[in-house]
A and B are shown apart, each in its own frame.
Chain A
């Protein structure tokens, strides 16, 4: 069965620092990949998604992610974080033929001003 690993459970950064959050999935084949964000007290929102094509995907608020098929990875990056990026970030994978998302355990990001 598909599983998703997010290696960093808690990350603390200062404003303007660069961010990279790791995400690896276990099962190969055709996958769709997602990063969701949950700001305090709010619902899960889609940051970005990869379905096919260019493996470097740009999302909202300056986030991007790179799909590396050989490494089963889909790491999230942002060159310069802001205090407002404080949130929990979830990586998720959807396998071909299935509609369900398989989520990682999430990474809590705290950005100090």
Chain B
């Protein structure tokens, strides 16, 4: 597709349930990012991949959060034992290169609601 695609668009999870969020970046994009956007806040960085390598996971809030990009294309963000504070929009972005001066393109996000 022409843009970054995320699925599902909406996810309701019961507290304690595991969830998996998918991101299909723009074809050929080297860099992939995950951000978390809580209600009324700006996006906050979670993790960054360069191809299949996870180079920065400093933003992952706890060891319940895990991200992977095994073939350097599609990425999955997994949240184990979801808690109410995990409710947020999870945004994926990709960029063509791994240098600073390249634009990141964002997907529409997955809205996760934990009940």
Identify the A interface with B (CB < 8 A): 4, 6, 32, 36, 42-46, 49, 51, 90, 92, 94, 96, 98-106
The answer, yes or no, to whether B107 is at the interface (CB within 8 Å) is: yes
Question: Besides the contacts A51-B101, A99-B55, A105-B42, what 7 more A-B pairs have beta carbons closer than 8 Å?
Answer: A44-B93, A90-B43, A94-B100, A100-B45, A101-B35, A101-B43, A105-B41
Binary contact readout B13-50 vs A (1 if CB under 8 angstroms, 0 otherwise) = 00000000000000000010101000011111100101
Chain B residues closer than 8 Å to A98, beta-carbon distance: 56
A100 and B33 within 8 A (CB): yes
State whether the Cβ of B106 lies closer than 8 Å to any Cβ in chain A: yes
- Asked if A105 contacts B40 (CB within 8 A), the reply is yes
Interface assignment of B59: CB less than 8 Å from any CB of chain A: yes
Contacts of B45 in A (CB 8 A): 100-102
Name which residue of chain B comes closest to A4, CB basis.
B42
Closest 3 CB pairs of A and B: A103-B42, A100-B45, A44-B106
Q: Report how far A92 CA is from B104 CA in the complex, Å.
A: 12
Given contacts A46-B103, A51-B101, contact A100 B109 (CB under 8 A): no
- Contact across chains for A32 and B40 when beta carbons are under 8 A apart: no
Enumerate chain A residues within 8 angstroms of B108, measured Cβ to Cβ. Answer: 42-43
Among the listed A101, A102, A104, A105, which residue makes an inter-chain contact with B104, where contact means beta carbons less than 8 Å apart?
Answer: A101
Q: How far is the CB of B99 from chain A (nearest CB, A)?
A: 9
Highest count of chain B CB atoms <10 Å: which of A42, A92, A100, A105? A100
Closest to B44 in A: A103
Given A51-B101, A90-B43, A105-B40: A100 and B107 interface contact (C-beta under 8 Å): no
Please name all residues of chain B whose beta carbon is closer than 8 Å to the beta carbon of A96 when the two chains form the complex: 100
Q: A43-B108, A100-B33 known; A49 and B44 CB under 8 Å?
A: no
- Which one of A94, A101, A104 has the greatest number of beta carbons of chain B within 10 Å? A101
